[in-house]
Amino acid sequence: MILFAILLLFVAGSFGLKLVINPPEKPNMITYFVTTFDNNGVPTIDFDRLLVLYTWTTFVTAFAALLIDIGKMWSIVGLSHTTLELAILVLLGNGGKIKNVTFLAWMLFYILLVGAICIFSDFPTDALFFKFQG
């Protein structure tokens, strides 16, 4: 399954890299973010570049997982990855702004709770919980 994921990440990253290096120039081929606050829209090319970077980073991480033994310390790296994904989703859903101060407190609680469970649980409970929370 990891080899299949690595292959898909490589293919998606290659297509994405080709797209962001040579973005389409025709106006009808360009995609835009349109929100209720902004009817003009914002071109998505910068967001596409971020997604390509994220895809290649995930590819390198998955490939490294084949070469080295990932253990409890890896769960902290993976937890940071999952936390950033959650923050990106919240930012996208709220128009690029965190509108509630308690969001940061919830993120800290999430990091501490999941990190503690992964570190203090024995194998395979820690791996199953980490995979489930991700």
* Annotated domain spans of the chain: 1-68, 71-134
* Cis amide leading into 124 (omega within 30): yes
What is the number of alpha carbons within 13 Å of residue 20 lying toward its C-beta? 17
Angstrom distances, CA of residue 73 to CA of 8, 88, 124, 125: 26, 23, 15, 15
- The rounded average pLDDT for each run of 10 residues, N- to C-terminus, in the chain (134 residues) is 89 92 77 66 72 82 76 71 76 68 87 86 80 75
Q: What pairs with residue 125 in β-bridges?
A: none
pLDDT of residue 37: 65
Q: pTM of the entire structure?
A: 0.59
Are 92 and 98 in contact by the 8 Å Cβ rule? The answer is no
Spatial distance between the Cα atoms of 96 and 109, rounded to a whole number of angstroms:
22
